[in-house]
Amino acid sequence: MNRKLKKFIPQTAEEITTDWLTDCLREGGVAKSSSVISFSSKEPESGEGFSGLTLRVDLEWDNFEESLPDSVLVKFPSTDKKNRALIERDGAYDREFDFYERFSDRFPVRVPKLFYSARDPIAKIESRRKVNKGLELLPDGASKFLGGHARQFIRSSGRRYALIVEYIQEARTTTTEGLASERDLVEILNSLAVVHSHWWRHPLLVDDREGVAWPTVTHTPKLMNGLYRGSRDRVISNNPELFTPELVFLTDWFADNVVEAVEFLNEPLALLRGDTRTDNMLFTDEGLVMVDFGSFSSGRPTCDVANLLSSCIEPGPTALHAYQHFADIYHEALISNGISDYPKNQYENDMKVCLILQAYLLVLAAAHYEADYGENSLVKIWAERLVALLPQKSPLIGQVVNV
């Protein structure tokens, strides 16, 4: 049974109170003696996504103190228990808390300020590793059966989470359905190069106790592959126009080499922000602000770049040319930030592995996640953009020989 903190932690908009907001913002050092006397809340932009609910909360204070916020963002976990169970299995809530509590104040690109965080305790890392090891020892048939019925078998923990961060005023973003401008993409790619170079081969990335506890792909590749094997045929049958034979050939290749591929991609070359879709980026007059860190991790930096480019290049005859153009911009920026031990041929090979990873994850998303993204599903939008960028043959999992 999970232990719970002896404090009130709301989990829905209806449970938020003025007293709770006041206590949180005083505890976080935002307010000294002022109190919130009223508030209103609404969902900014889109509805509830995969991971949970984000609310813009507008505040009215009883007196003036310098730097009191007029608005904050409050984040709660998903109310969909099945989505939430899968998200917790991936550690997404704890990843975001770890980022804000331990890394946000030294992140080289602007992120929202942390005002308050509270979560019920998580099992110690040794216990989690023991559970993961046991799951990886399951026979292939058991993993596949569990994967095919993941939404029925995996249960949410019952832990409570609440995060309050800065609301970025007058910011512009690109929705999932929209396409970012070239200027915006270049700004994101340059910012990613700054992040990756800042943490390049940093000792914290390999520190078991004080470092980044989260890999970019998974701790349990065999279990993840059970999800893939257990849902593959159903996903293809339901979406034959999206999951073409060419795409599935590559995702099957990844599945056949999943342990080796995951170990390769998880190699901690850099700290990764994760989930680099453009709707997780805010554009302001002062520059880019990165938001939402439920996929914060360490690994090969191409995981960030491929995730971004696979989701935001317009499909069509010029897609590959545009992809190569933007991929080159990132690598040049990485070099200009002082990274000299990541040659172009290795980078291009790794990008191919990561694009195939995106296709593999697309199968999992189609099978197991539910979210509201308007008229078109995220899976449809993502698949149509990704398929034009996939390599025609499988790349190398490992070091490329320089010639």
Query: How many domains, in total, are found in the chain?
Result: 2
CATH number for the domain that contains residue 34:
3.30.200.20
**Block residue for tokens 């390049």:** 200
- In whole angstroms, what is the distance from residue 304 CA to residue 233 CA? 28
Report yes or no: 21 and 36 within 8 Å, Cβ to Cβ.
yes
Same domain as 300, residue 198: yes
Angle at 270 between CA 268 and CA 271, to 5 degrees: 105
Question: With contact defined as beta carbons under 8 Å apart, do 335 and 305 qualify?
Answer: no
Please determine, for residue 2, whether its predicted confidence score (pLDDT) is greater than 60. Answer: no
Residue where a domain stops, chosen among 135, 167, 199:
167
* 230 plus 108 within the same structural domain: no
110 lies in the same domain as 68? yes
Residue 46: predicted pLDDT: 46
Helices (H), 160-244: 182-198, 221-238
- Residue-wise pLDDT tens digits, 38-87: 999 998 754 445 578 899 999 999 998 888 999 999 999 988 887 788 78
Q: Is 114 part of a structural domain of the chain?
A: yes
Residue 140's pLDDT band, with cuts at 50, 70 and 90, is confident
Query: Do the domain assignments include residue 135?
Result: no
Is 296 part of any domain? yes
The per-residue pLDDT for 149 is 67
Residue-wise pLDDT tens digits, 285-324: 999 999 999 999 999 999 999 999 999 999 999 999 999 9
Q: What percent of the chain has pLDDT above 70?
A: 91
Rg (CA), the chain: 21
Task: Look at residue 151 and tell me whether its pLDDT is greater than 90.
Answer: no
Q: Which residue has the tokens 């608005």?
A: 71
Q: Are residues 290 and 314 in the same domain?
A: yes
Residues 235 and 366 in one domain: yes
Sorting pLDDT into bands at 50, 70 and 90, what band is 90? Answer: confident
Same domain, 365 and 317: yes
Domain that holds residue 348: 172-403
For residue 210, pLDDT beyond 70 = no
